[in-house]
Structure 1
Amino acid sequence: MLNNIPKILSPDLVHVLMDMGHGEEIVIADANFPGAEFNDHVLRADGHGIPEILEAILELMPLDPYNDWQFALMNTLGDDPTPEIWPTYRKIIENAEPEHHTEGHFDRFDFYDQARKARAVLITGETALYGNIILKKGVVL
């Protein structure tokens, strides 16, 4: 055990976050995301929603202010409505990174391509549609 590490973060996830370098990405995926299809390094956080995981990760990991986007979402398809969970993500990120929180968007298959390049995919118990989010790691000072 260590002090000041949010208890919701598993040792394996903390190890991945520690191991990531500047500019690397992690996908925090909803329960429906086919993570193993797109990345060999899949972690699980079943039973937890993305907002609580996102908040905990951002306590430890800064986002990359030098990139065009610091977090990215998957575009909706067709007439699907804008996901209700997105404003929650934006608020969490804005609270953690008040100056650097530009949002990127990827179409479904481009999002999958990003997942292939990510350091890891964390599958959560999140059931919100289009709940997936990619974080780009910044420099720890």
Structure 2
Amino acid sequence: MLKGIDQRLSAEIVHILMQMGHGDDLVICDVNHPAATIAAQTTYGKLVDMSGCDIPTATAAILSLMPLDTFVDAPVARMQVVGDPYAQVPVFARMQATIDAAEDRPVPMRALERFAFYAEAKRAFAIIRTADSGPYGCFILKKGVIDLPPLSERTA
């Protein structure tokens, strides 16, 4: 273990977050999502499981290290309910509260039709599947930047 890193984050997940750059997307999904199939088409190329976590808990752990993009209108996307694009399921509100708390501000979230979500997920850097049973627990997080001082200004 390392200091300050949520124990739910495996070394593989930390490695993925470190490899991602500004604007890269990370999919966090429930167990019903066709994650293994779609993950094969992502940059990382394979599915990563975050067993024992629901989606908001996994997201909170991830966002403890990863900033969301501030250069886009909505750095988080979610899947729409099939047949009722305006419907709300409990995980939507729980995720909104989680991302708002992590960023300490209201964070816009956009909704995508199911197949549009799958298409966007295929272009993601990686997919992390949680143990959440859903339904509609499918989210895409766009990585932002961290403003750090130049290395020459840092003290040991």
TM-score normalised according to structure 1 size: 0.94
Query: Displacement of 1:70 after TM fit?
Result: 1.1
Q: Which runs of 4+ in 1 moved over 3 A?
A: none
Q: Does 1:125 align with 2:138?
A: no
- Aligned-residue Cα RMSD (Å) equals 1.4
| Deviation by residue 1:7-49 (Cα, 9 ceiling, x = unmatched) | 0011101100111000000000101111121122210112211
Q: Does 1:7 align with 2:7?
A: yes
Query: Displacement of 1:98 after TM fit?
Result: 3.0
Provide the residue aligned with 2:115 in structure 1: 109
Provide the residue aligned with 2:98 in structure 1: 92
Q: Given that residues 65 and 100 in structure 1 are in contact (C-alpha distance below 8 angstroms), is that contact kept between their aligned partners in structure 2?
A: no
Distance in 1 of aligned mates of 2:32 and 2:120: 17
Provide the residue aligned with 2:19 in structure 1: 19
Partner-residue secondary structure (3-state), 1:88: helix
Partner-residue secondary structure (3-state), 2:93: helix
Q: Given that residues 32 and 134 in structure 2 are in contact (C-alpha distance below 8 angstroms), is that contact kept between their aligned partners in structure 1?
A: no
List runs of 5+ in structure 1 lacking aligned partners.
none
Provide the residue aligned with 1:72 in structure 2: 77
- Which 10-residue stretch deviates more, 120-129 or 80-89? 80-89
List runs of 5+ in structure 2 lacking aligned partners.
41-45, 148-156
* Letter in structure 1 aligned against 2:119: D
TM-score normalised according to structure 2 size: 0.85
Q: Given that residues 21 and 143 in structure 2 are in contact (C-alpha distance below 8 angstroms), is that contact kept between their aligned partners in structure 1?
A: yes
Query: Displacement of 1:79 after TM fit?
Result: 4.7
Q: What is the percent sequence identity of the aligned residues?
A: 38
Larger Rg: 2
Query: Displacement of 1:128 after TM fit?
Result: 2.0
* Letter in structure 2 aligned against 1:97: E
* Letter in structure 1 aligned against 2:103: E
